[in-house]
């Protein structure tokens, strides 16, 4: 058979085997091996088939197989060294046996020749062989031409050389005929002084990415100066020394980025965390989006960040949010809010909805079905889990008081990566690279560095007809890409024991692990979002409640204006309010009797023409302090001054920093409104479901049925015609705003939470 297939045909009396000491002829084939006969006679040897390894080419008269003990050393030689050794072996065998290949059964034409008869002495046979080799060289036209050009010396083995070959073959076998220059081991680094290597290693250890890199020549000069500072002189082979320094430079990396990565290897992990079930570890991180988005109000492009929550066991994306730079602790908390509630995305032809909350109001879903590989049209599920642990870095948004307290309340462990060790959170870091596949198709893609940035990046509608996406549109696009592309694409890192060759998608892996470990959804509540917002304690007075120098009031607070101490907490008359720093135009109050969460609006919100976020409020305070602070204001003029400052800032837009602040504020307020509208929609859905449920609960043996929200394709008009009441109008308005439809501008007496767009 062909040698490339790793097999060879051994024929008794014809095939040869190369061993450590000489060539053997296959004399007999046994069921488990072969019987070999040496060229010199004197008994046979038996070798097993598994001892015959590397197959050689049998078409040129050389050996058919190699004995395993010789194989490693033989394969380490170059092809030219192997040809030289086998050529010398043919010469020695013809001198000793009279046959070029050592066996009478393999005799060539004219063999055996009289010149190599056993009756002649060994010296006489060597003399005849030297003469024959001289003639062969003179008849080789190519060799003669190369000698005439001076490329080769006109040399041929003499009698003494041939006798030395015979003695080496008898003493060491075939290995004695290998050219010693081919097996010579270079002195290498051993030729360098220990002091030189010690100083070189110490100097290259400083290249850890914190300092600028230099070339090898500069490093050599620094080593010489270090030796002189110690009063010593370095004497070493210059060529070997530069080669040693080049090897150290290659090991550390030519650039600072590679050097920083190399410096982390000593403390980096080389094995994945053995997450065995969904939700065991959820990795979260923020990255700057390599695509610019557009602000329609201020007509400018700006940068945003992408927050992602990735399940380590299944690689499912459990939550994704596009937020202004830089992300805050509230953004991280609401990302965790997305992780703990299930989503669905609906595709109907060319229409694709945003991720819709498919929560089960105050129920638990024990049904593990539904996360299968659905066709493109239909409903695509995005799973939810209650994480056991969160893996993240030491970013301030993850180690702050609000986020850590939230994890403590939810019973979730916080697994922090070590400082400057991004490889500790390798799964989500790799996800950022995968995300490039989606971002590169978008207008406004600016590349990974200025080297890749195009001339037209940042223009809303350039001459190529590419219009930038808004932050909301970018979030919807990425969420659709996750559901329709990433979750349906086989992932090379997903392997199930016993099916290592199978290709699994994130959703199929989630199904597989869920069927093994079971699944317990988070108990979904319409007002789940408020559990992820910070709480501020404030006293309810006759004019409302004052939080962050803003006065909030609503009719729902009437019965709590004269509370006794200890009503909500023992030490005072304060009550808890949920505050969303993304939109301070309102706070939220949970009624202790009904449990319902009510919005409490800022008293000056109806006069506001600008988004009011925590960042904007801090900027307003700076202006108020610059004009004399509270001492320059009357008691009733504080609200007027805040509104006046906000509107003036909005109109002036004097600096790039102001423009960036307003663009970010608009994105945050829009996101806040969407989250709270979803909560209102879920609350209304639960009330409808509760009203339609039978009085008697289902048997315990039956599985709990998933109750979904109204399908996204239902229009607000259809909902109003079916339920002609105030609740239906609120539901219709919520659906309209969630689907990006424009709503009517509110009047001065309407609630500010229904204002559409700043």
Query: pLDDT (tens digit, 9 = 90+) per residue, 325-372?
Result: 889 999 999 999 999 988 888 888 888 888 887 765 555 554 544 445
- The dihedral built from the CA positions of residue 92, 97, 98 and 102, taken in this order, carries a sign that is negative
Read off φ and ψ for residue 741, nearest 5 degrees: -80, 150
Percent of the chain residues topping a pLDDT of 70: 72
The span from the CA of 536 to the CA of 125, in Å, is: 108
Identify the helix (H) or strand (E) that includes residue 618.
helix 614-626
- Sort strands 52-55 and 45-48 into parallel, antiparallel or unpaired: unpaired
Q: Using the Cα atoms of residue 188, residue 189, residue 191 and residue 192 in order, give the sign of their dihedral.
A: positive
The per-residue pLDDT for range 646-658, each reduced to its tens digit, is: 766 666 555 667 7
> Regarding beta strands 389-392 and 413-416, do their DSSP bridges make them parallel or antiparallel, or are they unpaired?
parallel
What's the gap between Cα 141 and its chain centre?
61
Q: What is the pLDDT of residue 742?
A: 34
d(CA 733, CA 744): 10
Tally of CB atoms within 10 A around 527: 18
475 vs 469: CA distance, rounded Å: 9
Count the neighbouring beta carbons within 10 Å of the beta carbon of residue 641: 17
The token pair that represents 710 in the structure block: 């109204």
Both tokens assigned to 708:
């979904």
d(CA 442, CA 77): 54
**How many residues in the chain?**
758
* Cβ-Cβ contacts under 8 Å for 108 (sequence gap 6 or more): 99, 100, 101
Q: How far is residue 169's CA from residue 40's CA, in Å, rounded to a whole number?
A: 12
Comparing CA positions, the residue from 204, 258, 251, 249 lying closest to residue 226 is 204
> Which of 671, 685, 712, 705 is CA-nearest to residue 344?
712
Q: Which of 223-227, 257-261, 264-268, 359-363 has the lowest mean pLDDT?
A: 359-363
**Cα torsion angle, 78, 83, 86, 88, sign:** negative
Sign of the C-alpha dihedral, residues 427, 429, 431, 437?
A: negative
Strand intervals (E) in 448-542: 535-541
For 599-638, the pLDDT digits (tens) are: 999 988 777 767 888 888 888 777 777 766 656 555 555 6
Neighbours of 13 (CB within 10 A): 12
Are 105 and 132 in contact, with CB atoms under 8 Å apart? no
User: What average pLDDT does the structure give for the chain?
Assistant: 77
Joined together, the tokens standing for residue 122 give 């060994």
Q: Please tell me the pTM assigned to this model.
A: 0.62
Dump the DSSP string for 263-318. HTGGG---S-----STTS-EEEEEEE-SB-EEETTTTEEE-EEEEEEEETTT--EE
Q: pLDDT band for position 267 (50/70/90)? A: low
- How many Cβ atoms from other residues are within 10 Å of residue 115's Cβ? 16
The answer to whether the CB of 102 falls within 8 A of the CB of 93 is: yes
Q: For the chain, what percent of residues have pLDDT higher than 90?
A: 22
The answer to whether the beta carbons of residues 308 and 284 sit under 8 Å apart is yes
Token pair in block for residue 380: 């695509």
* Rounded Cα distance, 581 and 612, in Å: 9
CB–CB of 138/144 below 8 Å? Answer: yes
pLDDT interval class at 7 (50, 70, 90): low
What pLDDT is stored for residue 258 in this prediction? 83
Average pLDDT value for residue range 701-723: 34
Tens digit of pLDDT for each residue in 296-328?
877 788 899 999 999 999 999 999 999 998 899
Residue 268 confidence (pLDDT)? 58
Bridge partner residues of 322 (DSSP): 306
pLDDT, residue 578, reads 95
């Amino acid at each position: 058979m062909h040698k490339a297939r790793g097999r060879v045909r051994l024929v008794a009396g014809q095939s040869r085997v190369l061993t450590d000491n000489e060539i053997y002829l296959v004399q007999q084939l046994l069921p488990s091996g072969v019987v070999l006969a040496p060229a010199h006679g004197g008994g046979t040897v038996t070798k097993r088939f598994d001892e015959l390894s590397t197959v050689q080419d049998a078409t040129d008269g050389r050996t058919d197989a190699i004995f395993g003990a010789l194989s490693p050393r033989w394969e380490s030689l170059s092809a030219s060294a192997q040809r030289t050794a086998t050529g010398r072996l043919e010469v020695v065998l013809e001198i000793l046996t009279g046959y070029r290949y050592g066996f009478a059964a393999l005799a060539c034409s004219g063999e055996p020749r009289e010149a190599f008869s056993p009756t002649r002495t060994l010296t006489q046979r060597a003399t005849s062989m030297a003469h024959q080799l001289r003639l062969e060289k003179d008849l080789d036209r190519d060799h003669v031409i190369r000698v005439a050009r001076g490329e080769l010396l006109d040399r041929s083995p003499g009698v003494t050389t041939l006798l030395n070959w015979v003695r080496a073959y008898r003493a060491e076998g075939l290995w004695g005929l290998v050219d010693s220059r081919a097996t010579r081991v270079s002195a290498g680094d051993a030729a360098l002084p220990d002091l030189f290597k010690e100083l070189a290693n110490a100097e290259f250890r400083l290249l850890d990415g914190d300092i600028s890199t230099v070339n090898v020549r500069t490093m050599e000069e620094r080593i010489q100066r270090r030796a002189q500072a110690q009063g010593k002189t370095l004497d070493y082979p210059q060529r070997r020394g530069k080669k040693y320094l080049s090897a150290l430079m290659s090991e550390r990396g030519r650039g600072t980025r590679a050097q920083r990565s190399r410096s982390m290897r000593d403390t980096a992990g080389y094995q994945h965390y053995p997450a065995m079930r969904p939700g065991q570890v959820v990795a979260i991180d923020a990255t700057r989006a390599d695509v610019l988005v557009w602000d329609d109000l201020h007509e400018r492009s700006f940068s945003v960040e992408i927050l992602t929550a990735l399940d380590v066991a299944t690689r499912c994306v459990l939550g994704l949010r596009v937020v202004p730079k830089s992300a805050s602790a509230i953004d991280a908390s609401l990302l965790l809010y997305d992780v703990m509630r299930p989503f669905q995305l609906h595709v109907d032809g060319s229409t694709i909805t945003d991720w819709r909350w498919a929560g089960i109001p105050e129920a638990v879903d024990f049904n593990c079905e539904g996360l299968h590989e659905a066709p493109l049209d239909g409903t695509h599920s995005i799973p939810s889990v209650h994480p056991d642990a969160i893996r993240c870095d030491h970013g301030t948004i993850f180690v702050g008081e609000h986020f850590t307290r939230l994890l403590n309340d939810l019973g979730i462990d916080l697994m922090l990566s070590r400082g400057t060790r991004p490889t500790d959170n390798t799964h989500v870091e790799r996800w950022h690279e995968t995300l490039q596949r989606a971002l590169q198709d978008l207008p406004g893609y600016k590349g990974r560095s200025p080297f890749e940035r195009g001339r037209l990046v940042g223009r809303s509608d350039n001459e190529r007809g590419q219009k930038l996406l808004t932050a909301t549109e970018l979030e919807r696009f990425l969420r659709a890409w996750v559901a329709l592309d990433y979750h349906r694409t086989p992932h090379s890192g997903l392997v199930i024991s016993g099916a290592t060759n199978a290709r699994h998608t994130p959703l199929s892996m989630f199904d597989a692990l869920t069927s093994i470990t079971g699944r317990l959804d988070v108990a979904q509540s319409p007002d789940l979002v408020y559990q992820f917002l910070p709480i501020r304690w404030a006293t309810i007075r006759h004019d409302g409640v004052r939080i962050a120098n803003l006065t909030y009031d609503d009719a729902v607070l009437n019965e709590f204006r004269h509370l006794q101490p200890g009503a909500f907490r023992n030490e005072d008359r304060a009550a808890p309010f949920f505050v969303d720093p993304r939109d301070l135009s309102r706070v939220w109050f949970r009624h202790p009797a009904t449990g319902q969460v009510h919005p409490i609006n800022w008293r000056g919100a109806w006069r506001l023409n600008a988004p009011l976020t925590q960042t904007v409020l801090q900027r307003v305070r700076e202006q108020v302090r610059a004009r004399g602070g509270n001492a320059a204001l009357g008691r009733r003029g504080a609200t007027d001054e805040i509104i006046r400052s906000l509107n003036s800032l909005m109109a002036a837009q004097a600096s790039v920093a102001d423009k960036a602040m307003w663009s970010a504020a608009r994105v945050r307020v829009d996101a806040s409104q969407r989250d709270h509208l979803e909560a209102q929609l879920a609350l209304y859905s639960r009330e409808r479901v509760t009203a339609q449920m039978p009085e008697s609960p289902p048997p315990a043996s039956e599985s709990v049925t998933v109750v979904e929200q109204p399908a996204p394709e239902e229009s607000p008009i259809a909902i109003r015609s079916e339920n002609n009441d105030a609740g239906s109008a609120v539901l219709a308005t919520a659906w309209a705003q969630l689907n990006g439809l424009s709503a009517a501008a509110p009047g001065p007496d309407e609630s500010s939470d229904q204002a559409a767009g700043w």
